[in-house]
């Protein structure tokens, strides 16, 4: 069963399983917003037994109308990537400010509190996100010690060791080896996670780059990597939910 709610001004897509609930799961969308792809992913995890809350974190930002499929595809199309950069910079401008980051984490905390209070999840809530959502999965992990698992797909974690040490949940992260910015930063992140004593593991997939899980983007999707990450994420979440 699916529905839309608004909690403290935040629109949320909810997908409920038709069987016993293993845990709650917050799914954070890509920078393109709460689109059909994100809702489809939410429904897939719901079918596996998770009560899924997928908030629309771009609501009210003015970005919704600009987050078109065409812009997304042009960004990943080698023949159009350079030409579309000015449009991308204009599109991204509203979310670059520190104020937006603070507000977004606050919104995620509100969504967490809402799903955490659902009796059916038994105070077991994980977070999973893609790109923008991967980055904010790390941010929520720092801000919310009650999480049971964190699954960032190709996200940034720019926090220092002191902040990362606040993370209580295990993390399983996914990357594509051609995602150069994230891959070059990965050794430093791994060292910081180790120093912070965070249970951190990751998987890097060969021959693919950013957004390899997004099956609506023909320029980035990698079926083999996406299938493997799907299975690994389910195993990781099931282990956390069973403890």
In this predicted model, what pLDDT tens digit does every residue of 92-137 receive, in sequence order?
Answer: 666 778 898 999 999 999 999 999 999 999 999 999 999 999 999 9
The DSSP call for residue 65 is: T
Of all residues in the chain, the percent with pLDDT exceeding 90 is: 80
Tens-place pLDDT, residues 27-86: 999 988 899 999 999 999 999 999 999 999 998 766 655 556 666 666 666 666 666 666
- Which positions ≥6 away from 44 have C-beta within 8 Å? 230
Does 198 score more than 70 pLDDT? yes
E strand spans, 131-170: 149-153
**Is the Cα torsion angle 174, 54, 127, 61 positive or negative in sign?**
positive
pTM of this structure: 0.92
For the chain, which domains are there?
Answer: 2-64+98-242 (3.40.50.1820)
Compute the distance between CA of residue 178 and CA of residue 180 in angstroms, rounded to an integer: 5
Helix (H, G, I), strand (E, B) or coil at 54: strand
């Amino acid at each position: 069963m699916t529905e839309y709610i608004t909690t403290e001004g935040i629109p949320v897509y909810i997908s409920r399983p038709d069987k016993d609930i293993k845990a709650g799961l917050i799914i954070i969308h890509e920078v393109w917003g709460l689109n059909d792809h994100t809702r489809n992913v939410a429904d897939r995890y719901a079918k596996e037994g998770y009560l899924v809350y997928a908030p629309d974190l771009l609501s009210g930002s003015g970005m919704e109308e600009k987050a078109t499929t065409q812009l997304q595809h042009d960004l990943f199309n080698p023949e159009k990537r350079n030409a579309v950069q000015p449009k991308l910079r204009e599109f991204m401008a509203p979310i670059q400010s520190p104020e937006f980051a603070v507000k977004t984490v606050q919104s995620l905390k509100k969504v967490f509190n809402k799903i955490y209070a659902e009796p059916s999840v038994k105070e077991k809530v994980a977070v999973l996100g893609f790109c923008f959502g991967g980055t904010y999965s790390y941010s929520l992990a720092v801000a919310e010690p009650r999480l049971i698992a964190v699954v960032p797909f190709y996200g940034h974690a720019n926090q220092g060791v002191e902040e990362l040490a606040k993370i209580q949940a295990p993390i399983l992260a996914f990357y594509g080896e051609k995602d150069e910015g994230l891959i070059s930063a990965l050794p430093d992140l791994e060292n910081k996670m180790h120093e912070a004593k965070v249970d951190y593991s990751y998987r890097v997939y060969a021959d693919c780059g950013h957004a390899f899980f997004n099956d609506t983007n023909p320029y980035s999707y990698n079926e083999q990597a996406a299938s493997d990450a799907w299975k690994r994420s389910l195993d990781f979440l099931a282990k956390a939910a069973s403890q």
